Structure 1
Amino acid sequence: MDAPGMQMPPLGDAEFQRLQRLMADASGIRMADHKRSLVAGRLMKRLRHFGLGSYGEYLDLLGSDAHKGERRLVIDLLTTNETYFFREPKHFEFLGPWLSSRRGPQRIWSAACSSGEEPYTLAMVAAENVTGNDWTITASDLSQRMLEKAAAGIYDLSQARHFPAGWLHRHCLKGIGEREGCFRVSAKLRERVNFRELNLTHPLPEQLGPFDAIFLRNVLIYFEAKEKCAIVGRLVQRLRDDGLLFIGHAESLHGLDLPVRSVQPSVYRRV
């Protein structure tokens, strides 16, 4: 049922606290109080979809066994962030020459890959710079829906606006017919990227890693210091000696007791 003309009901304190607990239990993410309006806006479409008049009714629906899939969708809606190819370009400007200077197989992990723009950017940088062309990308995310989109590798052509000259032609195929206005990452690159569902707040699979570089960007902003330290600690254990950890430019590891040292802003080396 859909009621497009329906007004947004208020998201009360008790309802928001229930959503905060749901997110914390399911993902480890503790939604800050100032996110209330964002949460209300993102979930309003689901209320309309079910023809519900309040967030309380929607939360009751989420608690029923018949709507387990809806709970997963809520996690997707509230953890999906804006992403695009070559976001925070200084990271890739640093990574390319670093990869060129190394020998042997290179393994890179995009730990919160969302809809795939980051791991495919990493794949392009690796293809352009790794000596011997021996490299793989592991890409993980909490959202199964985002992973499915990422695996398809199809994007609007506007997403190519930050590509270096010639890279769209070298690494992607432009759509024609029904796909005009889109591009698809080449099969040659897609086959080098392994997508998997992972919750970074849980223990990591034993077989994961080791990696030469890990990208954990724009994730730590959702967590408090203790949880941040635990997450980063688990990931750093999967880095090779002298491997690199990249975090978002708006994030910091300041004050966390971790075996890394800063190389440049938001780039750390395992020590």
Structure 2
Amino acid sequence: MSMAAAVEIQLPGDRISKRNFDKLARFIYDYSGIKMPPTKLTMLEGRLRRRLRATNHSTFDDYCDFLFDHDGLAQEAVYLIDVVTTNKTDFFREAKHFDYLQTVALPAIANGGVRTIRTWSSACSTGAEPYTMAMVLAEFAESRNDVSYSVLATDLSTDVLQTARRGIYPEDLIAPVPRDLQRKYVLTAKQPGRREVRITPKLRSRVGFARMNLMDEKYPIGEAMNVIFCRNVLIYFDKQTQAGVLNRLCNCLAKGGYMFIGHSESITGFDLPLKQVSNTVFQRI
């Protein structure tokens, strides 16, 4: 029995039909580059139920008719992408990257004459990555007194950007942040029993958040970046999409600048103006 037939049999009642699943998967891929194989059917159904409620549709068929036959995508696309994107994030995730940033990349950039180090978290999720970058940059700038920095943080999801701008997190999420940095850059809740923390206003003000789709043909970031983090994003794309994203990112990276990708990712086989300088760290040539 084919996979298509197996999926078709499992779709009675309020399940997503194969026809509508194929339409949704195609739209999600075209819009975001995220692959949605048949094995993701149950996950997609679970996540889309909130959109059915929000748009007052009682069945998946009604919702998909609204999307594809009544121009509903014009108003629903952003929300649809929000519910299907995965947003795993931690402070100081893949800590060796931040060690390299602090001890090798930033000194090399500053010693090369750069006075404002421009950095970009290109898939920032709920903000842990760009705030971690900002902590490392703030410490470096304080130690040098001759450099400043900026952090651009972008994501496709409006939901995660809203969370990131607030900078409020569960207390246990900041456990990886060194104690001395917690004291400088993290505020604890005043109310007893409220197990939340917030990034300090000063550090939050150094991070600029914006919505951006890595599938777009151009990235409107202004001047070239000295550091780009694009971690744990490429794994969701096929090879063709990866090639396009990586080439566009390289066009945004200054010569001598550094690109960081996730430890489970690889750029082997792509023709890019990058040389590997450490594990999953590359320099623009």
Q: What is the TM-score of this pair, normalised by structure 1? A: 0.89
Aligned to 1:107, the other structure's residue is in SS state: strand
Q: Answer yes or no: is the 8 Å Cα contact 2:109–2:256 preserved in 1.
A: no
1:13-55 CA-to-partner distances (Å, cap 9, x unmatched) read: 2222111122123223332333223222222333455675542
Alpha-carbon distance in structure 2 between the residues aligned to 1:8 and 1:126? 54
RMSD: 2.3
Alpha-carbon distance in structure 1 between the residues aligned to 2:254 and 2:169? 33
| Structure 1 position 126 matched with structure 2 position 142 | no
Alpha-carbon distance in structure 2 between the residues aligned to 1:235 and 1:11? 36
| Structure 1 position 33 matched with structure 2 position 73 | no
**2:80 corresponding residue in structure 1:** 74
**2:179 corresponding residue in structure 1:** 165
What is the identity percentage for the equivalent residue pairs of Structure 1 and Structure 2?
37
> AA paired with 2:121?
S
> AA paired with 1:97?
T
> AA paired with 1:72?
V
Aligned length: 265
Displacement after TM superposition at 1:179 (Å): 8.7
Larger radius of gyration: 2
Displacement after TM superposition at 1:91 (Å): 0.9
Displacement after TM superposition at 1:83 (Å): 1.0
Question: Any unmatched runs of 5+ in structure 1?
Answer: 1-6
- After superposition, residues 1-271 of structure 1 pair within 5 angstroms as 9-47=14-52, 52=57, 54-63=59-68, 64-65=70-71, 68-98=74-104, 99-103=106-110, 104-130=115-141, 131-132=144-145, 133-177=147-191, 180-205=194-219, 207-271=221-285
Displacement after TM superposition at 1:69 (Å): 4.0
Q: What is the TM-score of this pair, normalised by structure 2? A: 0.84
Aligned to 2:227, the other structure's residue is in SS state: strand
The worse-fitting range, judged by mean Cα deviation, of 229-238 and 260-269 is 260-269
The worse-fitting range, judged by mean Cα deviation, of 139-148 and 212-221 is 139-148
Question: Any unmatched runs of 5+ in structure 2?
Answer: 1-11
CA 1:161–1:223 in 2, change beyond 3 Å: closer, same or farther?
A: same
The worse-fitting range, judged by mean Cα deviation, of 216-225 and 206-215 is 206-215
